[in-house]
């Protein structure tokens, strides 16, 4: 689906469905020349997400779709994304091939131009997203062209929104591929594809290179699989002077069976999504191909499977991290933290970032604590926490702070080695334990945030533009927002 902006000074052209957004209690403002049958809007209240499709009697549109915005005081970016998604979903269901989202002067006043244009563009594009690659006869979308007909100053937001929505959909495409169709090598291949177009560089480390660096934790996770692991390293350099160096680290488990500590079979298929942190990082770099940010950005993804092969790590095995820390692996299903720890070691040795943000589907516990609408955030300082939270709120990819205290860190001290990969005693707080394992690998001077996205990466309640039971692409747009992408 293509989405373009058209200046409202140019007149409406032929369209299958014209969308008219309407505040609760107000009458739909039909643009000039369009008339409906007498009773077409009877009972239409303009409640949030209410939609009414009517035949047009005259004018350039064949049909008109009125979509309720709800009460004016409640209109925000999230509601705008949702109504745009409702609009295109209804237009598609009505077999439209073209659709015009009409932004009249009243709608244009609901938010500033950037927020409004961005929300409508993202909502429309992400709401229309489907994943059909698994079907022998993919359903082809009827709706191919959406026009955002509104004030001239929406143009920049539409361009930005296209890039951020594409970034999210790139992440979703990677997520939705099952493990046999997206191996660590395939993920590295996707990353290399991002580097083809100029500004981004990509290097990929294979097993041999990782062995040489001493990444024993990551290799210990990979040992049970016949699919070789990869470490992906992407670099973005800004055009002007850099305001700092940032590392984005992603957990890229293309499948997590649990290893020898094998998972129950129910929903094990969902562990295709255990690479969602990595997908978010690659998604952000998809956006960075065309957007400007004032930082040097490094994307690091540890890509591997976690399988119970006969070379697999056994409970009790001791592995050595790249920085020399020894770890006893008491539960091979707590593998994400092992992979992340070595990638963090790589970052501190090779990249030396000022700030490191990692994203990982790390714990089932965060799904229990926060559900599917908010990701857990552990931040080393309040400034970073505030920034990320604001970016998440704006993007509709929300973060909620969780605690990391010394008791959590102490519970990760090992008996036979320096650390163990699951907490001892009756600590509880599974997500904090995951963060506590990572903490000793992060140097004290580095700004660090750990985002546990296990709940938000898929399975979200239908927020119209979100992924439902498929991948949500969570993180890519949040990161671009935080980086100040323009």
The site for ligand BES (CB under 6 A) is made up of 256, 274, 331, 333-336, 361-365, 367, 422, 430, 454
CB 254 to Zn ion: min, Å: 11
Interacting partner of 342 out of Zn ion, Mn ion, ligand BES, none (Cβ under 5 to 8 A depending on kind): none
CB 335 to Mn ion: min, Å: 5
Interacting partner of 459 out of ligand BES, Zn ion, Mn ion, none (Cβ under 5 to 8 A depending on kind): none
The stretch near Zn ion (CB under 5 A) out of 271-279, 297-305, 317-325, 406-414 is 271-279
Nearer to ligand BES, 89 or 331 (CB): 331
CB 339 to ligand BES: min, Å: 9
Nearer to Mn ion, 251 or 477 (CB): 251
Interacting partner of 422 out of Mn ion, Zn ion, ligand BES, none (Cβ under 5 to 8 A depending on kind): ligand BES
Which residue out of 79, 172, 337, 477 is catalytically annotated? 337
Active site residue 208: no
State the number of binding residues for Zn ion (CB under 5 A): 4
Nearer to Mn ion, 189 or 331 (CB): 331
Interacting partner of 50 out of Mn ion, Zn ion, ligand BES, none (Cβ under 5 to 8 A depending on kind): none
What b/e string do you get for 269-283 counting C-beta neighbours within 10 Å, with b at 16 or more?
A: eebbbbbbbbbbbbb
Which residue out of 142, 199, 263, 350 is catalytically annotated? 263
173 in contact with Zn ion (CB under 5 A): no
Interacting partner of 307 out of Zn ion, ligand BES, Mn ion, none (Cβ under 5 to 8 A depending on kind): none
Backbone φ, ψ for residue 141 (5° rounding): -65, 135
CB 201 to ligand BES: min, Å: 30
336 in contact with Zn ion (CB under 5 A): yes
- What track of x and - describes contact with Zn ion for positions 243 through 262 (by CB under 5 A)? ----------x--x------
Active site residue 477: no
Q: Enter the tokens of residue 87.
A: 């609009």
Residues of the shown chain interacting with Mn ion in the complex, contacts defined by CB under 5 A: 256, 333, 335
Nearer to Zn ion, 176 or 261 (CB): 261
CA distances from 47 to 27, 71, 75, 85 (A): 12, 7, 11, 15
- Dihedral, CA of residue 469, residue 473, residue 477 and residue 478, to nearest 10: 70
CB 335 to Zn ion: min, Å: 6
Dist CA 113 CA 413 (whole Å): 52
Nearer to ligand BES, 48 or 378 (CB): 378
358 in contact with Zn ion (CB under 5 A): no
Judged by CB under 5 A, the residue of 16, 78, 177, 274 near Zn ion is: 274
Dist CA 99 CA 4 (whole Å): 11
Nearer to Mn ion, 355 or 431 (CB): 431
Nearer to ligand BES, 250 or 430 (CB): 430
Dist CA 79 CA 383 (whole Å): 28
Nearest residue to Mn ion by CB is 333
CB 331 to ligand BES: min, Å: 4
Interacting partner of 364 out of Zn ion, ligand BES, Mn ion, none (Cβ under 5 to 8 A depending on kind): ligand BES
Q: Enter the tokens of residue 475.
A: 């993180």
CB 430 to ligand BES: min, Å: 6
Nearer to Zn ion, 221 or 417 (CB): 221
Interacting partner of 195 out of ligand BES, Mn ion, Zn ion, none (Cβ under 5 to 8 A depending on kind): none
CB 336 to Mn ion: min, Å: 6
Catalytic residues: 263, 337
Using CB under 5 A as the criterion, which residues of the chain lie in contact with Zn ion when the complex forms?
Answer: 253, 256, 274, 336
């Amino acid at each position: 689906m293509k989405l373009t902006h058209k200046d409202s000074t140019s007149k409406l052209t032929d369209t299958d469905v014209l969308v008219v957004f309407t505040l609760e209690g107000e009458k739909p403002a039909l643009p000039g020349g369009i008339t409906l049958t007498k009773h077409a809007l009877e009972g239409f209240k303009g409640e949030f997400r209410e939609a009414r499709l009517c035949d047009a009697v005259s004018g350039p549109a064949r049909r008109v779709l009125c979509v309720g915005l709800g009460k004016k005081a409640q209109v925000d970016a999230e509601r705008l994304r949702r109504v745009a998604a409702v609009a295109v979903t209804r237009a598609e269901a009505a077999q439209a091939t073209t659709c015009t989202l009409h932004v009249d002067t009243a709608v244009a006043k609901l938010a500033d131009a950037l927020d409004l244009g961005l929300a409508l563009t993202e909502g429309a594009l992400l709401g229309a997203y489907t994943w059909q690659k698994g079907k022998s006869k993919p359903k082809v979308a009827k709706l191919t062209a959406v026009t955002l007909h509104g004030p001239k100053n929406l143009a920049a937001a539409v361009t930005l929104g296209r890039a951020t929505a594409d970034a999210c959909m790139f992440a979703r495409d990677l997520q939705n591929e099952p493990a046999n169709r997206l191996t660590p090598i395939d993920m590295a291949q996707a990353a290399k594809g991002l580097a083809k177009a100029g500004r981004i560089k990509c290097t990929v480390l294979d097993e041999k290179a990782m062995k040489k660096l001493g990444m024993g934790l990551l290799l210990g996770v990979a040992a049970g699989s016949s699919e070789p692991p990869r470490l992906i390293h992407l670099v973005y350099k800004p055009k002007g002077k850099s305001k700092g160096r940032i590392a984005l680290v992603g957990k890229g488990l293309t499948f997590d069976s649990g290893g020898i500590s094998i998972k129950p079979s129910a929903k094990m298929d969902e562990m295709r999504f255990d690479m969602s942190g990595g997908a978010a990082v690659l998604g952000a770099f998809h956006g960075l191909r065309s957007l400007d940010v004032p930082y040097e950005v490094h994307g690091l993804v540890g890509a591997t499977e976690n399988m119970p092969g006969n070379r697999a790590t056994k409970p009790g095995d001791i592995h050595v991290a790249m920085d020399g820390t020894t770890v006893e692996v008491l539960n091979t299903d707590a593998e994400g933290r092992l992979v992340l720890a070595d990638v963090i070691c790589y970052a501190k040795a090779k990249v030396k970032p000022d700030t490191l943000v990692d994203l990982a589907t790390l714990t089932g516990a965060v799904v229990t604590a926060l559900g599917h609408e908010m990701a857990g955030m552990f931040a080393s300082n309040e400034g970073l926490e505030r920034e990320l939270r604001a970016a998440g709120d704006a993007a509709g990819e929300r973060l909620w702070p969780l605690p990391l205290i010394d008791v959590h860190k102490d519970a990760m001290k090992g008996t036979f080695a320096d650390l163990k990969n699951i907490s001892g005693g009756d600590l509880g707080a599974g997500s904090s334990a995951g963060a506590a394992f990572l903490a000793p690998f992060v140097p004290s001077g580095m700004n660090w945030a750990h985002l546990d996205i296990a709940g938000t990466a898929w399975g979200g309640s239908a927020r119209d533009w979100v992924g439902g039971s498929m991948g949500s692409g969570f993180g890519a747009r949040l990161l671009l927002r935080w980086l100040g992408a323009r």
